[in-house]
């Protein structure tokens, strides 16, 4: 028996528009700051009233963790998909639909196949056209792009911190972290002094782990055998930092070692050379960038002197990943070429991004005006409060409570102003450079210096790439969101050159017609 296909009515031809309202904030701070949820709801309801949309159900409307949010998001999608009357999911902006841009695009396509449209109250697009759909996808990915940039900046900062010898995060057992001025000092505590004995017993007496656990317990330190084994093999205790962000690199730490290096090496059967800072050489630019698809470990490089040839291999015991460096480099160039944008599309694509950035900055400028107005009003209230208190019109308890409330509000306004004071000019410059680079990525990498190759690799794939020995090619886990868009554009254009050209020229025109409704007086929430 054949299933009846759902007949999809174009959005512009819907006779009765019934919506489910979905609002969300990513953090509790966003929820408190300028009542972002209330503003989202108010603006969506006003939009619905102006456009003849009936709001049947409301979802979200509260601060949720990423885990909880995902669950409630899926529940909302499932319920809306079952409701035969609802044909719209109304959101404040497209980035409020989902925290993951790629997920949002797939979900939107799923809903559209059921005759349900995702509509933004503040970002006008044409959901019926190919150009409008692409514009929506750009907006979905845009927020993810911002988040990824912040994450990459954070990861780069943490990596640089580690390379300088400074540890971040929780310290291992036996250490304390104390803040002295602006610096965090890591020192050995009383438990650490007891743990020092474990290394000495192991190195000098050849004592077994169970016996060491018993002796530590008699000293007042209780740990299990598994934990002890991890401690004995952790180079942190002899003053060296090993971290996943560093790949196979070992860095001398700037903190107090628990045990000397010689004793640690003896415990672990290492040579007197101990741990050395191993550099990436020019011959192996993909080292610590390409990971094995089987075990997830980074590939390292080596040279067969008899043949004069270089290879990449996985160091994990039992893993047989071993590949010619020439082959790896050639396939990497091929991977980069997948992101190349046809020259004739560059002006149109650049124009699209310029308009997106301008719109975003305009919204922030309007938000800043509203926040400044609130700041003035709040400051005037504080002055009046102080005057009334000085004249004895209010009690000290009322004064203190009101002052605390207004001070909290002023602090929130200040944070909001700091957030919106930074426009996207740098990001726009980045995208412009990315568009230019995308025309020659393969050649750019091939002809670049070692440092240039490293920079391009980290820009394209911040967390590296996988090499799948089964298919003998690369797999991308986490590509830069801007270049992800470029790859899709390039693939679409190659499939149907005539159609793609037409669509993108339509897109250029449609973007010019986009507008902003009244923004919420907050930063990007």
Up-side HSE of residue 89: CA atoms within 13 Å toward CB? 29
Q: What is the rounded CA–CA span in Å between residue 445 and residue 459? A: 12
pLDDT tens per residue, range 54-103 = 999 988 866 555 455 577 888 889 999 998 899 999 988 877 787 666 77
pLDDT at 346: 73
- Window from 40-54, 188-202, 238-252 with minimum mean pLDDT: 238-252
Most confident of 93-97, 143-147, 226-230, 413-417: 226-230
Sequence spans of domains, the chain: 11-122, 175-267
- Window from 77-86, 329-338, 432-441, 516-525 with minimum mean pLDDT: 516-525
Q: What is the rounded CA–CA span in Å between residue 441 and residue 108? A: 31
Check if the beta carbon of residue 240 is closer than 8 Å to that of residue 258: no
Lookup result for tokens 């192991």: 202
Closest among 68, 247, 54 to 159, alpha carbons compared: 247
pLDDT tens per residue, range 481-512 = 667 766 776 666 665 554 444 444 444 444 33
Up-side HSE of residue 242: CA atoms within 13 Å toward CB? 10
Q: Is the confidence at residue 243, as pLDDT, over 80?
A: yes
pLDDT tens per residue, range 458-475 = 878 877 888 888 888 898
Task: Band the pLDDT of 8: cuts 50, 70, 90.
Answer: confident
Task: Band the pLDDT of 434: cuts 50, 70, 90.
Answer: low
Q: Is the confidence at residue 519, as pLDDT, over 50?
A: no
Please state the pTM of the whole predicted model: 0.43
CATH number at 11-122: 3.40.50.1390
3-state SS, one letter per residue, for 348-363:
HHHHHHHHHHHHHHHH
How would you classify residue 161: left for phi > 0, otherwise alpha for psi between -120 and 50, otherwise beta? alpha
Check if the beta carbon of residue 430 is closer than 8 Å to that of residue 120: no
Order of strands, edge to edge, in the sheet holding 322-324?
299-304, 309-314, 322-324
pLDDT at 506: 47
pLDDT at 431: 64
Q: What is the rounded CA–CA span in Å between residue 147 and residue 100? A: 10
Residue 304's alpha-carbon distances to 313, 320, 450, 458, in angstroms, are 12, 17, 21, 28
Q: What is the rounded CA–CA span in Å between residue 48 and residue 121? A: 8
Q: What is the rounded CA–CA span in Å between residue 194 and residue 210? A: 16
pLDDT at 430: 62
Task: Band the pLDDT of 227: cuts 50, 70, 90.
Answer: very high
pLDDT tens per residue, range 118-160 = 998 887 788 887 777 777 777 777 666 666 666 666 777 788 8
End-to-end CA distance of the chain: 48
For all residues of the chain together, what is the average pLDDT?
A: 78
Closest among 34, 58, 61, 63 to 48, alpha carbons compared: 58
Percent of the chain at pLDDT above 70?
Answer: 74
CATH number at 175-267: 3.90.1750.20
Q: Is the confidence at residue 199, as pLDDT, over 80?
A: yes
């Amino acid at each position: 028996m054949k299933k009846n296909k759902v007949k999809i009515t174009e959005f512009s031809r819907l006779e009765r528009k019934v919506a489910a309202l979905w609002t969300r904030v990513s953090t509790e701070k966003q929820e408190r700051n300028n009542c972002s949820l209330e503003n989202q709801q108010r603006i969506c309801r006003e939009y619905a009233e102006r456009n003849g949309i009936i709001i049947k159900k409301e979802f979200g409307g509260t601060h949720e963790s990423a885990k909880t949010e995902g669950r409630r998001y899926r529940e909302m999608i499932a319920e809306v998909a079952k409701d035969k009357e609802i044909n719209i999911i109304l959101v404040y902006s497209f980035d409020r639909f989902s925290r993951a841009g790629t997920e949002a695009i797939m979900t939107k396509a799923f809903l559209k196949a059921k005759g349900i449209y995702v509509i933004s109250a503040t970002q006008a697009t044409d959901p019926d056209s190919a150009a409008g759909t692409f514009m929506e996808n750009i907006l979905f990915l845009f927020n993810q792009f911002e988040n990824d940039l912040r994450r990459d900046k954070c990861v780069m900062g943490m990596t640089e911190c580690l390379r300088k010898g400074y540890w971040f995060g929780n310290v291992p057992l036996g250490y304390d972290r104390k803040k002295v001025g602006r610096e965090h000092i890591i020192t050995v505590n009383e438990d650490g002094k007891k743990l020092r004995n474990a290394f000495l017993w192991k190195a000098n007496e050849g004592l077994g782990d169970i016996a060491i656990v018993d002796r530590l317990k008699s000293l007042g330190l209780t740990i299990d055998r598994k934990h002890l084994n991890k401690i004995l093999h952790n180079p942190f205790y002899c003053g060296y930092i090993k971290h996943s962000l560093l790949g196979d690199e070992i860095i001398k730490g700037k903190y107090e070692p628990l045990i000397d290096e010689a004793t640690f090496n003896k415990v672990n059967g290492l040579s007197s050379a101990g741990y050395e800072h191993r550099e990436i050489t020019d011959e192996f630019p993909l080292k610590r960038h390409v990971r094995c698809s089987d075990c997830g470990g980074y590939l390292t490089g080596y040279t067969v002197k008899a043949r004069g040839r270089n290879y990449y291999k996985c160091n994990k015991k039992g893993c047989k990943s071993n590949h010619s460096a020439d082959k790896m480099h050639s396939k990497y160039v091929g991977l980069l070429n997948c992101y190349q944008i046809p020259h004739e599309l560059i002006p149109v694509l650049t124009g699209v991004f310029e308009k997106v950035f301008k719109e975003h900055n305009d919204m922030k400028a309007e938000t800043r005006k509203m926040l400044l107005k609130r700041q003035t009003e709040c400051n005037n209230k504080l002055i009046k409060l102080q005057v009334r208190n000085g004249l004895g019109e209010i009690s000290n308890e009322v004064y203190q409570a009101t002052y605390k409330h207004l001070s909290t509000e002023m602090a929130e306004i200040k944070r909001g102003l700091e957030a919106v004071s930074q426009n996207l000019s740098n990001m726009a410059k980045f995208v412009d450079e990315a568009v230019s680079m995308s025309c020659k990525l393969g050649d750019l990498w091939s002809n670049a210096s070692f440092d240039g190759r490293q920079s391009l690799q980290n820009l394209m794939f911040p967390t590296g790439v996988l090499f799948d020995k089964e298919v003998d090619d690369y797999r991308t886990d986490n590509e830069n969101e801007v270049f992800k868009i470029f790859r899709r554009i390039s693939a679409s254009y190659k499939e149907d050159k005539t159609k793609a050209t037409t669509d993108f020229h339509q897109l250029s025109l449609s973007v010019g017609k986009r507008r902003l409704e009244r923004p919420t007086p907050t930063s990007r929430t």
